[in-house]
Chains A and B, each alone.
Chain A
Amino acid sequence: MKSSVIVFPGSNCDRDIAVALEKMQFENKMVWHKDTSLPKSDLIVIPGGFSYGDYLRSGAIAGKSLIINEVIKAANSGCLILGICNGFQILTETGLLKGTLLRNKNLKFINKDVNIKVINNSTKFSNKYKKDEILKINIAHNEGNFFTDSNHLEELKKENLIAFQYCDEKGNINEEVNPNGSLENIAGIYNQKKNILGMMPHPERMVDEIISNKDGINLFSSLLN
């Protein structure tokens, strides 16, 4: 499977995701944001980081970069797109995903391992997970507080577009285990066609027992499935 990782000035998880993809046997290429064409890809990843120093709003400037036009074209023709952390913020700024990510409710940058629940396990990104499986995945962000209008929230629920929700070790979803104030504890969402996933947690950091755990691996093996 061929993947491309888009690199912006200020991206800092681009290498981590490339290492994870290569470990999982993806044929990966890095693509600079000023490029105007994409290599042939089955998966495009927009990595985490602080593109353009988070100027204006997180992801706002990157969302207008040259390569993004190509990403939008690819997305519309069904290519799989994964946006992690800043990548999720960029996807909302481009309009590929609806909603937005506000400043964390406690105004603090949060870097910790949290529990998330797999809500929909029948997508290209999640078919190797069990439904309601609980994963321990790292989050590291300042703007992860997912917000959207009530119509979109209704659509997310009705059409099973919520990918992950923050939960406790037993899988209970409540305000106490909501790290950043996200609506309904939402940690990741799909677009309507389910070929685009945006998520705040970092699965690429959870692919090796030595440094963390392997809870992120099944996301990549789902894609290969």
Chain B
Amino acid sequence: MKLILERQFLSNLKKNKLKFSVTVTLKKDVLDPQGKVVQNTLVNMGMNNLRNIRQGKHFEIEIDENDTEVAQKKIDEMCKKLLVNLIIEDYKINKI
């Protein structure tokens, strides 16, 4: 029993899972018509002190990796290669 538990512990260590969030938003200069409509609706609902809304996308990514730095690099690669259109979007990676 002890041996099994030890093995499980070791294999869990090997497969340490890290979790990140990625937030993608349109760049400042790119018109965000959806955000504008949401903003106008909230203002119409009486939220008068509302200044600005930008709508974006949120990803939660789990990765089998022990090293936070390595994992973060991998997530950055995912963003650049697929998740983000760098012409019009900015992104932020956060560990969660």
Chain A residues packing against B (C-beta within 8 Å): 56-57, 60, 64, 93, 99-100, 102-103, 105-107, 147-149, 181
Contacts and interface: CB of A to CB of B under 8 A. Distances in A.
Contacts, number: 28
B88 to A, nearest CB: 6
A107 B41 CA distance: 15
B33 to A, nearest CB: 5
Given A147-B30, A147-B87, A149-B87, 13 more contacts: A57-B85, A60-B82, A60-B85, A64-B82, A100-B85, A102-B30, A102-B31, A103-B33, A106-B33, A107-B34, A147-B88, A148-B87, A181-B31
B43 to A, nearest CB: 17
A106 B87 CA distance: 21
A53 B88 CA distance: 21
B31 A56 contact: no
Interface of B: 30-31, 33-34, 37, 82-83, 85, 87-88
A47 B37 CA distance: 31
Name the residue among B30, B33, B34, B37 with the largest chain A CB count within 10 angstroms: B33
* Centre residue among A106, A147, A148 by max chain B CB count within 10 A: A147
A100 B27 CA distance: 13
Contacts of B33: 103, 105-107
A107 B87 contact: no
Contacts of A99: 87
B83 A56 contact: yes
B5 to A, nearest CB: 42
Given A105-B33, A107-B34, A100 B82 contact: no
Contact of B34 (A57, A103, A149, A181): A103
